[in-house]
Each structure stands twice: as structure tokens, then as C-alpha cells.
Structure 1
């Protein structure tokens, strides 16, 4: 199957834009405002062809005093990112209503072929230098970026000569009911340079106690964090051949699994965990990433030929994400009372990126071009040996050209094109017989496999005019080609030939308009509105006959707006406030999209106060609004992800004090006011096991030593 964008689309796109850069925290004046992932080379953040949020190292460190969960960090600092789910899964936490592609240094961590929504939790924040979030459909990094890109940029060696490092020890516990809640965390890093070599080593180890809500009850275990053990080891080694040429190798190991002796129960209002006899404890293997690894090799030549830089990236990745034991995966006839699935993904990729710069009269031109090659083999078997999603072997080759034209330093025009060629092979397979109840079972189907071919040409164009410091308007048009979550379509097949399954890819068109304004030295304002359409989005419908949640392919339209204001009240006090709104519809049926896709309105306020050179205090406020778009049935029940969401508020506070140049103590409190609430996903989802409350007041205290 093939799909292309007409030539007329290119001419339409030439009249449209992009180019906003939403930076939550002002960077120091002496720090260059740069991002890497926007157009795959280092450039000014003000010239990136999409709305961008940069979460700085300082932001990460301040939030890390409250919680090490990256979901919480992204929800607080990124407009358009859905609220924290309070669990290890980011299902339901979309970016502008679509799934983002999560990366580490440009290497994909998500598993688009079978999106298990576990990509956000793939690296410990202590190993991260900054986070770049590029919003809106993009084809710059290929499949899976329907909602944009979340790129974790890892730490780099700081020491000019010799060795430096830090060690941190901390403990988190519930202030509502401390019993069994105390956990401990150890993180360490060392880096250095010697002659032409530079290196970085980071390690973190954390054991959680039980997680308790505002009433002191232990949170339900589905995607839970109670008794979770998390390990992350990251290493980076580089060698400078000369001033222009560098080779860098990095390796990351990440494991985060829940090992608990608790059991789940439902008290009529919420899912919670309780102490039970061994026979009633959480069944199956520990859930979570089971030793995911990344090997990344980068070679850079700043002058491969005249005015041109070359970057070669090779990566090899292995992912094994274990899910919870579910009775919905039962088959009494086969002797199975339930089942536990594992998403396995092996990726190997090579990217060659050239960056050429030319100058004309009053014009500076940049051309970024190259080739991407990727092999992705993904499947979702069950731990007991049954095959739920057959092995999908994808080969993807793409060529691209991106250009940037800067005229008189005022007018910025960007335009690009990417040609994607994808082949996906699947062997013959049988769908599983799954029973929610003994008389509610799916019917197995023998499916003939084969090869699916996808070809796509996508375009992006952006214009930004720096009229004056108080008004920088922009407008953009960008496209993305998406074949994500094919595995869900395959496992729910009701036809006998893979060619008859609705696995068609979708072109996503993203339109955006807005402005940035440096209203004064102290105040910066940014506003953006967007609209996103897709030919074939994927939602979910429950089939009461078989008890299976079936995918629904239908055109979708998503729209919304965001705003952010940064205000430097004084040299010691900074304020940042954001607001984001997103809505979406299935345009074929003219019905709203559910909570799995569309998040409720969200507002945040962050205040950072530095009363002295040795002390710092940060206050974070999160407001999640209400959303009620669907009607209950005659029994008062809602379907799938369509239950109403009521608003709630969460306040966090953190602070640190430097006792000396080497020793620092810190304290963080999550949910300071002990708000008793269900996160947005827990309210919207009607699936079993998701009715889990948010974390109650939780305290984190620790000390850091630097050398």
C-alpha cells in the first residue's frame, strides 16, 4: 500500500510557517540558547521550526528534589503535555493529543510498532543534561512522532582537566502514613578529561516503599510504583582526533520493576493494594522495563568539506517491557486463568547528517540533508509462551533535506522534505482466544502474513519575522507519516489475510500560528494555537460480545492553544506560568475523542526564590481542569475512556541549602496540601485496575556531596 502527498500540498505549505521556541525557564545570559533535536544540528532555539520547550538542568534538579518521575516533570514544565498519571505508564498522557516519540540523544526509546506507552520512563533524570520537547507532527526522525519529540539530552563532561563528580543520598516517605513507605535512593556521577579523552559515568539505584494516597491507603498495583526497584547505569567515552573530528561512544542500561508481596483490591471507590496471603499476591513476573539497553556511537567531522559538517550516528537498542498480569488474557479451555505480556523490540539504526552553510548578500543559508536507515523488530508475546502480537520486522530508509534562510537577521524561512520508504514483514500467525468471562471470548483467526509497503513524502515550511523585540510572529505547516501501533491492529484481526487488515499509514498535517514577545527585560510572553488532522487515527471501542477492546480507524481533528509567561520579578525571584487547552474529534462520526487521546485543560505556576547565595526555594502548582464530553448509558456507565474528569490541584515545594562548597542538603514535598484526588486518566478510564488515586503528601530528604 502506498500513499503520497500531492505536489499541490507543497505549494500550499510554502505560504505557511513555524518557528516558536517555548522555553519554560530563562537561561542565564551567558549560556547560548541552543537545541539539537529540532533540525538535527545545533542551532539557536529561536530558529527551530516548531514550538519547543527546553527543560534545563536546573529545572530537572529542582524537580528531582520532589520526585524522580519524569512523567511528573514533563507534566509540570511542558505546555500541551498531559497531566502526570501517577504510575510507570504514560498511556493517556499525550502531547497535544497525540503520542510523542521519546528519544535519548536522538535514539528512539518508544516502540511505535506496538506502543505500550512506557517510553517516558526510560532513563533516570540524574543522567540528563536537559530535555527538548518539540511539539506537533514531524517527520524529522521518522515513524512514531505523531505528537512531536521528547529528546533526553544526556550529561556531558564538565571538567576541563582532571576529575569531578557528585554523590547524592536521599529517602522518600509518606507524611500521611509513614509505615512501610520509606524508600532510599543513591545516585553518583564522575566525569573528566585527560589530553584528547573525555568520559562520563553516572549510576543511580532506588528502592521505593509503598506509595500511599491522601487517606493513607496503598495505591493500586497496576503500573504501580510501590516496592519498585530502579537501576540506571550510563557511560559516555569520547576521543578528539583533532579540533574538527570526534568519536563518542555511550551505553545506557535501565531497569525498573515492581517486586511486591501485595495484592490488588477494589473498595467500591478506588483500586488499592493490601497485604494478602501468598496465593492472592500480585501474580506473574515483576512488571516494568527488564534491563533495556542502548549502545550509541557518534562520529563528527566539523569540516568534512568546504563549509560542511558531517555527523554519523549508529545505535543498537534492546527493549523488554513487562506488563502486569491480567485476567482479561485468560483462556479457560487452554488452562490459562490470565496472562502477562511483554513488548520486545530490537532496533538497529544508522544516520548520516550533513550540514552545509552558505552566505549571500544579506542572506545566510543552511542546508541539512542526509539518510536514515532503521531495522525495528518488535513483538508482544505472553510470558506463558502464547503469541499475542506476532513479530513485525520493519526496514525503514529515508532521505531528507531541510533548509533555513535568514534574511537581514529578521526574516527566517524554513522548508524541508523527507521521503520515507518502509517495508513491514509479518509471518503467518493465529490471533489468541481471549476470555474476559467464560461466556465472553474472542474467536481465533488464522491470518496469512506477508509484506506491507509504505511510501510517503512529507513537507514542512516555517516563517518567522522578528519585527521588534516585543513581537515575533510565526506561522508553520508540518507533516508526519505515521504507521504506529500496527501491533494492536494485528492482534485484533478479524480477517484471514494481513492485506485486509486496516493497517494503512496516515499523513498527519499540523498547522500552527503564534508569536513570542520580549515585553521587557523582565517579561517574556509566548502564545501558540494549533490544528492537527490525520487521515486515519486510532481509537478504541469495546466489543461486549467478545470482551475485546477493538481498534477504530477513523479521521481525526485535534486543536488547541498554549501560552507561557516568564517574569523575573527581581534578581532573586523568577515566576513562570503556563496554560494549555486541547480538544479533538472523530470527524467521521462527529464525536469527541476520549481521555486516552485528549487531556483536560492544564495550568502551572512555578516560582523560584534564591534568598541567599546558599539557599534556594521552588514552589510548583499544577491545576488540571474538568472535561465532560460523553453521556452515560441507561445503567449510568461510561464506555472505555469516556468518563468525566473533575478538576484538581497539586502543590509541590522543594528547597536546598549549601553548607559548604561541597556539601548541600535538600528537602522536597510532593502534594504539600495532601489533595485527595484521582488523576485525569484514573477518572476518564473505565478499564479495570486504573481507578487509582494520586499520591498523598510525600516527603523527600537528602544530601549531596560534590568533589
Structure 2
């Protein structure tokens, strides 16, 4: 394996990967709105990237935080192509262009692709994030798990050159429909500064939710719920500038969210039209299971040498991550013969990684050339046991070594060409194991299978090429082709094995081919139009088919085609008023069987309008409108919809927030979610027919707070 990687690196290494090669802390706030680091692992102008990118600025994050701290809702509102939020702790079905994105913090993967539990988006509090960069479309730039693209949370940086600055914020959030027991509280604090060659940022967030109530005043169901949830996040970034060229940075982040509630669900059925809601557990009873929610911590070390040798920069990133995500108690995991009325699973994942990236830049007469190259190494040990000790998904021990090479060529007439290659080598060790006996009823159970383990090996060479021509400001077309190598969710395949040898399970990697064309148009610096159309194909996917005999959803691996388009318009009426509108449509099929893909992958059409207005110097108001359209591709089976194929009816949601600087360094703010108290099921709740998922959305919910800056 090592020889093949070295063979790739020796010839002429070209690539584009990792977090901030040129330190973004040395870039002004104004410039930050026009650069991107995620897609190429170096700082570059967004106008030199031949792909669709969404950047969420700190100002946008703060406006959304006044309504809700949930990152799922923020991404759904601000990212075209991102499926609408679910209103729960899970980002299941919240795909990016119909495929799962890889979530990262400063370039370090947070998702658990070997057993995708769909909790990767909630891995850090928004208060610790400086900006968010979303690169769309399959890519192998950061390795496994990026079939739909990349969401990179770029953490806060020291502000200015002060020894110490900071802020403290206190807020309360409650239902305006039915106030009783809904009041929660949130505390945020942050300090940062520079002391000679030393810099630091530290932040902490603590939030307690009250009961979450829908438009009818009922408590929303508990499956991936947020009622009575307690969140805490602790973040620190320490930096030291040894010389003008050499620096080191250490980042630590701990995030935990737990729902510890004395409620229990009254389970409804989407086919009958009865919603799932929660009530107080009867006296003398206790809700089964342990508190559910994500729990992870990261430590990252970055060493930068700006002038390793002529025109070349070196960045070394080392990181470690621990994940322990606990899921809800489920009767599906029952086995009465062994004394289990149900079960509760947890995904455990330990990652350790090292990245060495070199960036060489050259300039000739009319050409600027950038070469990015290096090695990525990752060890990921993931499993999904049950809290009671049973093993559902055995331990998977993955070693991943990759070499990469990317180039960018900029010609003075505005013509940009990017091309790259990545060689991926993966060894995945799974020891002998037995599948779990699960019982739909006492008499209807799955048959456990003893599976002989092995070392699964994967190797792939993936390519990307993109062209952009900044012909005129009003027409800047681009086109790109990129590949991704994806072995996501091997754990789901292992836990439903029906054969005795792991070699006979269809665990092959998917190669995703992604094609995109589009353009950007800027007129008079106050009007911006973006449009893109895309298509992605893969010979293997992972959908599900319901097994009526056992009540288990079995993976189906079949070729897939996903296609769609996105449009975004931004207009600045003046320096204190701007409006952004977007629309996204995506569709996908299992091309072998000529059937549409379900809601776990394909989202309903989505439109958004975001208005930011500063009526006076010390005040700002933000207005957001979300439209989710119909998607009705499936017929009922024996009179009922099954799986993730329920019909989706359209709905509209309006949020508003604002703040006022009423005294030196003091702000008061308010945010209102679902201003018009729309009574609706979110798209996932309509499409998912699984028991307990048909929960309604939040009714009108108010968030009020005060902030002090020093």
C-alpha cells in the first residue's frame, strides 16, 4: 500500500486539500467574505473556484443564533441544495444534493461514515464558529464520506490585536403557543486576544431546553427530540508565532447534548394521519434507556512553515477525535427470549489522523501556477454496540493512507483551470462476529448469522478537473468533473448480513462521478446571480427495502443517478438593506429498477428568501422565509406508504430576528421561529413512515436575550 502512494507522490504532486494553508487569521474581515479554504486547502478567491460554494458569514450565523442555536436549521435556511431541517437532533435525510456530506471542524472529519448515524452536523456550537464553507458535489479531496460534498465549520480566530476582548450573552427561549414548562435558558461566553507572539480564543456555551411544543401546544415527540435537552460546548484555540514564517496552533473542542426527560411518546402513524407527541410518563414509571444525544471531543495540532523552501509552504495537521453518540430506546431491538423488550444503540468512533500538505506557487509571464500535494493518514475505529452489551455492528478498524496532487492555473485574461488526482488505499479489519437476533413479535424474529471476519482492502484513484472563465463580471461560466470514492455505512451492511463470510457481503466502494456546469453574474457590485446544474452517478448505492417477514429494512445496492439545479439571487438595495433568494430542485433514481429514490436521499424542492435590514445605525432586523414544495413519487403498498416513501405536501415557514444596541457595548435581541404558527409536519416527518417519526414542527417560539461586549 505504501509503495503505491509513494509512487504517486514522487512524480509531480498536484493537489488541493486541508484547512487554511495561508492563515486566514492574517486576512481582513472584508477579504474573508471573498475567500474560501475548504475546496482547495489553501486560501483562494471564491471567484477562482470552478464549482458551487456557499459561505455563511459570522454576521449570518449571529442572526440565525437569535432564532435558534440548531445548525441543521441554519444550513437549511442558508444553503441551496441542503435539504430542509428536521427540527430534531438528527440530520437523517438532510442530504446535500441527494448524498451525504462530510462534516468537518477546521478540516477534521466529524461524521462517522463507517456507520453513519446522521448526527454529524451537531458536533460544535454555533457560538464557536467564525464561518461555514459548503462545497457541493462528490469529492475525494478529504477522503471517505464526502459523497455529497463538504461542510466545514471554521472556528473563531483572535479579533484584532487587543490583549483581551470578549462577550457574554444570556437568553431564554419559550413557546408562544403554550408557555407552561417551555422556558429554557442559554449562556454564551467568549474571550480572545494577543499577548506578544501568543494568541488565544476560548468560548463556552451552555443551553437547557424546556419542552418543545408544536402549533397545537402539544409536546413534540422524543425520537431524536430536543425537549429537556441540555447542551454544553467548550472550545479553545491557542497559537504561537515562533518566527515570521513558523507558527503552531492547538485547538480543543468538546460538545455534548443529552435529552434526559421524564416524558414518553404517544406513537402515531403517518398513514392514519395521527401525529406522535409526548406526555408525562405515568406515575411510578420511568422512560426506558439512557439520555440520548451526540457526544464528541476533538484535539487538533497544526504546524505551519510559510517558507519551507523556495515558494513553498508546509502545513502539518495532527488530530484525534472521540465520538459516543447515544440513540433512542427502540422496541425494534427486542429479543424477549433473552429478556430484552427493546434496546438502545450507540455509535463509538475513535479517529486519529495526520496530514502533511505542501503548497508551491510559481508565476510566469501571464500564468500563475499553484501545486498542492502531500499525504493524508487516518485510523478510524468505529462500532455500534447496544447499551445493554449486545453487539449490533462489530468493531471496524480502518487504516486509510492517501496521496494527493492538485494544480491551479490562472491566466491573466481570467481563465482558470484546476486539475487533481488522489490515490486512496484502505484496509478495513473486521473480526468474526454474529448478527443480532431481533424480533418483530415474540414469534417473528430474524435469524442470527455467524460471519467469518477478514481484512477488506480498497484502492481507488479519483480525478477532478474544473474550468472557469471570468470573461466579464456579468458572465463568469464554469464547469467541473469530480470523483469521490465512498465506503460509507459499511456498518449497516454488516449488521444485516445474510451470509457466513464477510467476503460475500456486497461491501464494494462506490465511485461517484459528479458533473456540474454553472455561471456567476455580478452587475454594478450590488446584484449577484448564481446558477448551476449537476448530475451525479454511482454504480452502487445503499437504499433500503422493507422485509415484511422480519420487520427489518435490508440494504439494497444498486446504481443511482441524481440530478438537479440551484439558483441564487442577491441584491443590495443599499448599504443597510440586502435580499437573497434561492431555489433548489433535486431528483434521483435507482437506474437498475427504474424507481425513484426515497426521502433519505432526495429532498423536496426548496425555496428561501433572506432579508437583512438595518433601519438605524444601532439596529438590525433579519427576516427568513422557507418554502418546501410537494414531492409525491410513490404509491402506497397494500393501502399504506412504507419506508421513506410517504408523500410530501408543501409548507411555508417565516422566522424573524433583530437586535438593538441600546448602550455602549450592550445589545438586546429577539428572535421568533415560525412567526405565523404554521401547523405542519416537516418533510422528513411526512416521508418517513417508521414508527414515531411523524412529529410536527415547532409552533411559534420566542428567543429573547441580552449581550455585553468588552
- Same fold, judged at TM 0.5 (above): yes
Residue number in structure 2 paired with 1:275: 280
**CA displacement at 1:667 relative to structure 2:** 0.3
Is 1:511–2:512 an aligned residue pair?
A: no
Alignment partner, residue 561 of structure 2: 557
Q: Which of 689, 703, 707 pairs up with 2:706?
A: 703
Q: 1:661 to 1:31 in 2, by over 3 A?
A: farther
SS at match of 1:536: coil
Residue 38 of structure 1 contacts residue 49 of structure 1 at CA under 8 Å; is this kept in 2?
no
Cα separation, 2, equivalents of 1:94 and 1:299: 33
Say whether 1:375 aligns with 2:379: yes
- Per-residue deviation, 1:30: 5.7
- Aligned to 1:88, what secondary structure does the other structure show? coil
Q: Show the 5 A alignment for 1:586-625.
A: 586-625=590-629
1:321-340 alignment runs, 5 A limit: 321-340=325-344
Which of 275, 293, 297 is the aligned partner of 1:293? 297
Q: Which runs of 4+ in 1 moved over 6 A?
A: none
- Residues 438 and 73 (structure 1 numbering): CA distance in 2 closer, same or farther, change over 3 Å? same
Return the offset for 1:644.
Answer: 0.4
Aligned equivalent of 1:250: 251
Structure 1 residue 266: Cα displacement: 2.9
Task: Give matches, 1:397-408, under 5 Å.
Answer: 397-408=401-412
* Secondary structure in 1 matching 2:440: strand
Q: Which runs of 5+ in 1 are unaligned?
A: 5-26
Distance, in Å, in 2 between the alignment partners of 1:484 and 1:258 is 27
Which residue is equivalent to 2:240? 239
Match of 1:214 in 2: 215
Match of 1:468 in 2: 472
The alpha-carbon deviation at position 375 of structure 1 amounts to 0.1
- What is the CA distance between 1:409 and its match in structure 2? 4.3
CA deviations on 1:533-587 (whole Å, 9 max, x unpaired) are 0110100111011111100000000000000000001222100000000000000
Q: Which residue of 2 aligns with 1:19?
A: none
Residues 263, 280 of structure 1: 8 Å contact kept: no
CA contact (8 A) 1:556 1:584 kept: yes
Question: SS of the residue aligned with 2:332?
Answer: helix
Confirm whether residue 154 of structure 1 aligns to residue 159 of structure 2. no
Does the 8 Å CA contact 1:616/1:656 hold for their aligned counterparts? yes
Query: 2:133 aligns to what?
Result: 132
* 8 Å Cα contact 2:642/2:689 also seen in 1: yes
Paired residues for 1:103-122 under 5 Å:
103-122=104-123
Kindly state the Cα deviation for residue 32 of structure 1 after the two structures are TM-superposed.
5.6
2:642 counterpart SS class: coil
Q: Answer yes or no: is 1:687 the counterpart of 2:690.
A: yes
Q: 2 CA distance for matches of 1:128 and 1:572?
A: 24
Cα contact 1:159–1:191 (8 A) shared by 2:
no
- Structure 2 equivalent of residue 69 of structure 1: 70
How many angstroms apart in 2 are the aligned matches of 1:280 and 1:357? 67
Distance in 1 separating the partners of 2:92 and 2:32: 35
**Cα pair 1:56 1:131 within 8 Å, conserved:** yes
| In structure 1, distance between residues paired with 2:280 and 2:339 | 27
Deviation per CA, 1:363-418, whole angstroms, max 9, x where unpaired? 00000000000000000000000000000000000000000001114100000000
Once the two structures are superposed, residues 100-148 of structure 1 have per-residue CA deviations (whole angstroms, 9 ceiling, x without a partner) of 0000000000000000000001100000000000000000000000000
- Asked whether 1:447 is paired with 2:451, we answer yes
d(CA) in 2 for partners of 1:47, 1:345: 36
TM-score, L = length of structure 2: 0.95
CA distance in 1 between counterparts of 2:101 and 2:285 reads 37
Matched, 1:305 2:309: yes
Structure 1 residue 663 corresponds to structure 2 residue 663: no
CA distance, structure 2, for counterparts of residue 31 and residue 293 of structure 1: 27
User: Using the alignment, how far apart are the partners of 2:121 and 2:30 within structure 1?
Assistant: 30
Distance 1:676 1:230, change over 3 A: same
In 2: Cα distance, 1:503 partner to 1:648 partner: 39
Deviation at 1:221, TM superposition (A): 0.2
1:22 matched residue in structure 2: none
RMSD: 1.3
Alignment coverage as a number of residue pairs: 681
SS at match of 1:113: helix
Counterpart Cα distance in 1 of 2:588 and 2:614? 41
Counterpart for residue 642 of structure 2: 639
Change (3 A) 1:64 1:661: same
Residue number among 571, 574, 594 corresponding to 1:570 in the alignment = 574
Structure 1 equivalent of residue 36 of structure 2 = 35
Could you give the per-residue CA deviations for residues 419-449 of structure 1, whole angstroms, max 9, x where no partner exists?
0000000000000000121222110000000
Matched position secondary structure for 2:127:
helix
Instruction: Please say if residues 261 and 278 of structure 1, whose CA atoms lie closer than 8 Å, have aligned partners that are also in contact.
Output: no
**CA distance in 2: counterparts of 1:580 and 1:674, whole angstroms:** 25
Distance in 1 (CA, whole Å) between partners of 2:31 and 2:478 is 26
- TM-score, length-normalised on structure 1? 0.95
Could you report, residue by residue, the CA deviation over 1:501-523 in whole angstroms, capped at 9, with x for unpaired residues?
Answer: 00000100000001000023221
The whole-number CA distance in structure 2 between the counterparts of 1:556 and 1:400 is: 27
Distance, in Å, in 2 between the alignment partners of 1:30 and 1:148 is: 24
- For residue 363 of structure 1, what is the aligned residue in structure 2? 367
CA distance in 2, matches of 1:520, 1:553: 50
For the residues of structure 2 that align with 1:447 and 1:267, how far apart are their CA atoms?
Answer: 37
CA–CA distance in 2 between the matches of 1:690 and 1:385?
A: 26
C-alpha spacing 1:518/1:391, structure 2 compared with 1 (3 Å): same
Shift of 1:282: 2.8
